[in-house]
Amino acid sequence: MKVTVLLLSVDEAEMLERSLPAATAQEPRPEVVVVDNECRDATPQLAARHGARHLRLAPRRSYAAAINEAIRQTDGDAVLLLNADCFLRPGFLAAALPRLSEPGIGSVAPKLIRVHGPQGLEPLDQIDTAAMVVDRRRKNGLVGHGRPAHGFTRAAPVFGADGAAALYRRETLACCALAGGREVLDEDMELWASDADLAWRAQLLGWRSVYEPGAVAEHVRTYSPSTRGQMSEPDRRLQFRNRYLMMLKNETGSGLLRDLPWIAGYEVAALGHVLLRERHLLRGYGDAWTLRRGTWRRRRVIQARRVRSSTSAVRAPASAVRAPPFGLRAPE
């Protein structure tokens, strides 16, 4: 099985100094593609130094559009989506890749360990994530975030893999692609929650995801519940509006009826928070409304192809989120 690693850099040469050699040293040896999103730093030179393929994108694109273009221009049977601030430990691919040989498995979620610092050189004895989850409020979250690093040692079904490091079967990505096969990640979403949206879509189309604790990487987390206050207002608004786009596209009638109390309760609380503390998020409602037609077109395609026996989401441990989850359980 040919493995392609799509290593995205947006002026992140400092991070690539560590993440790129860690990726090229994996066994079995992958094709490593440095996706240069109009970088103005040493990203091209680093790609050449480490023997990686250099894919230059100009002008600069959103995260979703950059990854979509990279998927179109590569042909690996397995595709690892990897951020520049994520550093694979030895044996990552050797542990994760066999999972894709299991029937129905479309993606593998690794165990990510939290690190700090400009190059991720300050390790913490904490889990960054052991997969992602969408809870009954339809809030996406990180399984195990902040829990002791020695935990979560058992493989288990999960909702999906966090976009920092997500191993996909190409067949799954092709199945999930929209807009005539050109759009694996929803380009209207740009960045935040586009990975959760893809994971939900894969579930609806009959693909399963599995957490593999033997595949370990270190990650410098930019956005999490603990760092949200440090994010810019545009980023927070984008994250806020993308939840609505994800729901409009993937929600099922039965799922909505089952979890309506949690969803409605969250909406009331969220509106109160917006009015009292973050009025700039009011624009997020308008942004979602503006994008509704394109999202509805995507919904029609997804729901027409939905595998009716599939679950609409996968459950994480109750301790991992602030509201009861739904679906199957993730690792403890």
The answer as to whether 310 is a domain residue is yes
The answer as to whether 47 is a domain residue is yes
The reported pLDDT for the residue numbered 310 is 53
**Spans of the chain, pLDDT less than 70:** 118-120, 223-229, 309-332
Burial zone of 213 (CB within 10 Å; 0-12 exposed, 13-18 middle, 19+ buried)? middle
Question: What are 31's strand-pairing partners?
Answer: 4
The answer as to whether 46 is a domain residue is yes
CA torsion sign, 311 to 302 to 155 to 141? negative
Q: What is the domain count for the chain?
A: 1
The reported pLDDT for the residue numbered 123 is 74
Range of the domain at 51: 1-322
3-state secondary structure of 51: coil
Both tokens of residue 122?
Answer: 């300050």
Both tokens of residue 327?
Answer: 């679906």
The distance in angstroms from the start CA to the end CA of the chain is 30
Residue 305 Cα distances to 30, 198, 250, 256, 315, angstroms: 32, 15, 12, 19, 23
Burial zone of 319 (CB within 10 Å; 0-12 exposed, 13-18 middle, 19+ buried)? exposed
The reported pLDDT for the residue numbered 223 is 66
CATH no. for residue 186? Answer: 3.90.550.10
The answer as to whether 332 is a domain residue is no
The answer as to whether 72 is a domain residue is yes
The answer as to whether 297 is a domain residue is yes
The answer as to whether 242 is a domain residue is yes
The reported pLDDT for the residue numbered 249 is 96
The answer as to whether 264 is a domain residue is yes
